[in-house]
Structure 1
Amino acid sequence: MNDDNQSAPRRRRMHLFQLLPNLISMLALCSGLTAIRMAVDGQFGLSVGLIGLAAALDGIDGRLARMLKSESAIGAELDSLCDLVNFGVTPALVLYYWGMRADTSLGWIAVLIYTVCCMLRLARFNVGQKVAEGEEKPKGFVGVPSPAGAMLALGPIYLTYAFGPDLRPPAFAVAIWMVFVGALMISRMPTPSFKGVRIYAENARFILVGSVALTASLLTYPWVTLLLLDLVYLIAILVLWRKSARSLRSVV
């Protein structure tokens, strides 16, 4: 009997559908990179749409991997690397080409700070996901997640497209806003999460109707809707922060 045959590793079969999560991650990456190209060509509205598409795909791949039981260490690393490009590098460059080339030095500093903050946020999230056996994973978010940070950072573009060039922020204001959003990502502030949200079955119809209304608003009045979503998200962060501060004071 040949010893080489005995020591040969067994080949594992997998269904083609189990490749879908990684394929979706790659499609999200292509969407983010194409957004940079559109920004270079001056098509900033399309750039924002592609970043939004990347965010939507990012919300699908992990859930699909769990459904198909195809979670892997490679898939997790791939997803994290795609997030850094799509929500760290891409929105920073889009904002740079859109509103900060008038002050290249200040604008580029803001780009670097925002991107590094996104990288640190993703690294902290990855470490938090690797909990010891028997421990529960954190239910909420600490700091703004990178997809939400990207959509927040693009707020100056929403404002200008919604109300015209007269309200276009100057380059230094865009830079300050980017640094502020980057600080939110690496902060220890609690931020909204829908992972643990549960509703009564009889209220499901209201959620469905609300989702349809939101989709219709995004298609009809995209810039105003995106700007309002940013404002609502910031208010939610402020409310959670105040609740957290009160609970800490009550403990002390």
Structure 2
Amino acid sequence: MPLPTVDTKSDISVIHLLPNVLTICAICAGLTAIRFGYQGDFETAVRLILLACVLDGIDGRLARMLGCDSPVGAELDSLADFLNFGVAPVLILHHWALQDFRSAGWIAVLCYTICCVLRLARFNVNSRLDKTDKPASDSGYFIGVPSPAGAVLVMLPMFVSFLFSDLPIAPPAVIATYIGVIGLLMISRLPTYSFKNVSIARKYATYLLLGAVLMAAALLTYLWATLVLFSLVYLVGLARAFQLDRKSRKTEG
């Protein structure tokens, strides 16, 4: 009696599942961040959102390195981005500072979340159609603020509060307005720099590695101060990009 044959096409290497495992871990981090936020442990909640950002930066690159990127993985990553960067940060912010602002605070939350899902939908469609919203090798730019960067920027008031614990929290109206502005930046046509295609001369690689080590050390040692600094630098870069974009439009006109 012949032995049954094994359909090897149905087999998959365990290592090829690792990117999806990281994406699911990011989802777990985002959900757990919401839990800690509603329990009042806001610092832990924010740290979990930051962990989700790190995992988001790893899973896609790992999938491409292993040659196992798939439509399922891409959809899973997009859903994780919406939860971790479009829902969790603003729910935590709402519970942190907007509880007494009633309807206006919730409108700001809805504005940010809808902007995030529209930004992700636009990016996904244009990526499939290979249009300009996908960072091309010759452009090095995103169109609008990416959702992970938006999540970090929208939590800037919390970073400042954690860094300067003696200062009062900003007025709810200011925080709600800020949330709405960050949401609009995500769906804007503003070109924002993408670091995915950055290349440097080989002779400077050592300095880049040293800078990465120092950055990691700063994040581990002075987390809130480093995040405040990074967020402010990013906002200044956005303002500069806005000026250059307006100038280029006037030149073309």
Counterpart Cα distance in 1 of 2:197 and 2:238: 17
Contact 2:134 2:142 in 1 (8 A): no
The 5 A counterparts of 1:4-83 are: 11-83=9-81
1:122-201 equivalences in 2 (<5 Å)? 122-131=120-129, 137-139=134-136, 140-201=141-202
What 5-or-longer segments of structure 2 have no aligned partner? 1-6
TM-score by length of 2: 0.91
Q: 1:63 to 1:223 in 2, by over 3 A?
A: same
Distance 2:54 2:164 in 1: 26
Residue 77 of structure 1 deviates from its aligned partner by 0.6
Distance 1:184 1:136, change over 3 A: closer
TM-score, normalised to structure 1's length? 0.91
Cα pair distance change 1:112/1:173, threshold 3 Å: same
Paired amino acid for 2:35: R
Q: Deviations over 1:33-90 (max 9, x none)?
A: 0000010111111111100000000011111111111111111111000100000110
For residues 111 and 103 of structure 1, what CA distance do their matches in structure 2 show? 12
Query: RMSD across aligned C-alpha pairs, in angstroms?
Result: 1.9
Deviation at 1:131, TM superposition (A): 2.2
Assess if the C-alpha contact under 8 Å between 1:156 and 1:169 holds in 2.
Answer: yes
CA separation of 1:165/1:112 partners in 2, compared to 1, >3 Å: closer, same or farther? farther
Counterparts of 1:81 and 1:35, CA distance in 2? 16
Q: Which amino acid aligns with 2:55?
A: L
Moved more, 159-168 or 27-36: 159-168
C-alpha contact (below 8 Å) 1:159/1:167 kept by paired residues = no
- Unpaired runs of 5+ residues, structure 1, are 1-8
Measure the CA separation in 1 of the matches of 2:160 and 2:84: 21
* Residue of structure 2 equivalent to 1:219: 220
Q: Where does residue 113 of structure 1 map in the other structure? A: 111
Determine the C-alpha separation between the residues in 2 that align with 1:83 and 1:42.
23
Which string of whole-angstrom CA distances, capped at 9 and with x for unpartnered residues, describes residues 193-246 of structure 1?
102211001111111111111111112211111111000111111222222222
Preserved CA contact (<8 Å) 1:18 1:68: yes
Moved more, 188-197 or 147-156: 188-197
1:204 aligns with 2:202: no
| Distance change >3 Å, CA 165–CA 129, structure 1 → 2 | same
Answer whether contact 1:128 1:138 (CA < 8 A) is retained. no
Is 1:251 matched with 2:252?
Answer: yes
Counterpart position of 1:228: 229
Question: In the alignment, is the contact (CA less than 8 A) between 2:23 and 2:56 conserved in 1?
Answer: yes
- Check the 8 A contact 2:27/2:80 in 1, yes or no: yes
2:10 aligned counterpart, secondary structure: coil
Moved segments of 4+, more than 4 Å = none
* Cα separation, 1, equivalents of 2:133 and 2:157: 38
SS at match of 1:130: helix
Deviations 1:94-118 (A, max 9, x none): 1011111011222111111111110
Closer, same or farther: CA 137–158 of 1 in aligned 2, 3 Å: closer
**How has the CA–CA distance of structure 1 residues 195 and 170 changed in structure 2, closer, same or farther, with 3 Å as cutoff?**
same
Distance in structure 1 (CA, Å) of the matches to 2:60 and 2:54: 11
Going from structure 1 to structure 2, the CA distance change for 1:67 and 1:250 (only over 3 Å counts) comes to: same
Alignment length (residue pairs):
243
